[in-house]
């Protein structure tokens, strides 16, 4: 049991380091951004910080499971539920602001999801949880209320996920430079990967499934980071295009013909 739990905790803390490094790097690049990009940048900083906070408590909770400190583990689960419930707020703001460019509208829609997150937390703390259930690879809890799960799924998961997919489709259909299109698309895929697997992480019935979810989340964080800051990542994407027999010049010629 102990080896798997330690590996689980290491993955959690790796996610924490990666997400906080991502948030700090975004903050340091604020001065290089245009003024209209600052709101989305702030939303991303909050998003990645909440992901890091969630896995900080998840890692500590896993260490508590390793030491068989059940009360500490339960308390850390409740604390970690706070960033988990709020993660859709900056995400929704980010998406709405990209589409509309209106701070007030984006704030208003994000506030609705803040209310849903608060309802989720009230239901979670009110109905409680069952567990923990520890095995070789992790420690899980069961939410003792279908109401709590339904509030999260309907208000905090399905709608933001649909927004991500809709924005991804919109970006792919736009006539934007290939490099910019790739960067935005991979960023959205990374965010979607993290967002979806965080839900699975929170409701995973087994430690092995929880561990697998956290590995995919770490991959998503790394993908998100490189899609933002790595020039070599862009070059690799261009190499993939060439291997497929499609060059940037051919793409531009194709677009010009359509015009």
Question: Which domain CATH number covers 251?
Answer: 1.20.1070
Please report which confidence band the pLDDT of residue 248 belongs to, taking 50, 70 and 90 as the band edges. Answer: very low
Where in the sequence is the domain holding 161, given as residue range(s)? 2-258
Strand pairing report for 129-134 and 139-143: antiparallel
61 pLDDT tier (thresholds 50, 70, 90): very high
Average pLDDT of span 131-153: 84
Report the pLDDT value the prediction gives residue 257, as an integer from 0 to 100: 45
HSE toward the beta carbon, residue 20, CA cutoff 13 A? 11
Q: How many domains does the chain have?
A: 1
Residues 70-98 have a mean pLDDT of: 93
Global pTM value = 0.83
Helix, strand or coil, per DSSP, at residue 147: helix
Residue 247: pLDDT band by 50, 70, 90 thresholds?
very low
Which of the residue ranges 22-36, 117-131, 184-198, 236-250 has the most confident prediction, judged by mean pLDDT? Answer: 117-131
DSSP 156: I
Q: What is the pLDDT of residue 66?
A: 93
């Amino acid at each position: 049991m102990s080896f798997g739990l330690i590996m689980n905790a290491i993955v959690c803390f790796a996610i924490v380091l990666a997400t906080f490094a991502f948030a700090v790097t975004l903050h340091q690049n604020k001065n290089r951004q245009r003024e209209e990009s600052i709101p989305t940048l702030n939303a991303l900083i909050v998003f990645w910080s909440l992901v890091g906070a969630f896995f900080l408590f998840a890692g500590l909770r896993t260490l508590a499971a390793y030491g068989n400190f059940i009360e500490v583990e339960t308390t850390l689960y409740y604390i970690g539920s706070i960033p988990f419930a709020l993660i859709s707020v900056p995400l929704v703001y980010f998406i709405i602001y990209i589409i509309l460019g209106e701070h007030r509208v984006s704030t208003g829609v994000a506030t609705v999801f803040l209310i849903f997150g608060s309802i989720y937390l009230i239901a979670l703390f009110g109905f409680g949880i069952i567990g923990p259930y520890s095995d070789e690879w992790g420690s899980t809890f069961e939410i003792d209320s279908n109401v709590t799960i339904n509030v999260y799924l309907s208000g905090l998961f399905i709608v933001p996920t649909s927004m991500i997919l809709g924005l991804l489709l919109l970006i792919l259909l736009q006539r934007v430079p290939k490099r910019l299109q790739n960067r935005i698309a991979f960023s959205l895929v990374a965010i979607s990967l993290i967002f979806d697997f965080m839900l699975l992480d929170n409701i995973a019935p087994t430690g092995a499934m929880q561990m697998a979810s956290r590995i995919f989340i770490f991959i998503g964080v790394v993908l998100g980071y490189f899609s933002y800051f790595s020039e070599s990542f862009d070059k690799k994407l261009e190499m993939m295009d060439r291997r497929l027999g499609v060059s940037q010049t051919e793409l531009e010629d194709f677009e010009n013909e359509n015009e």
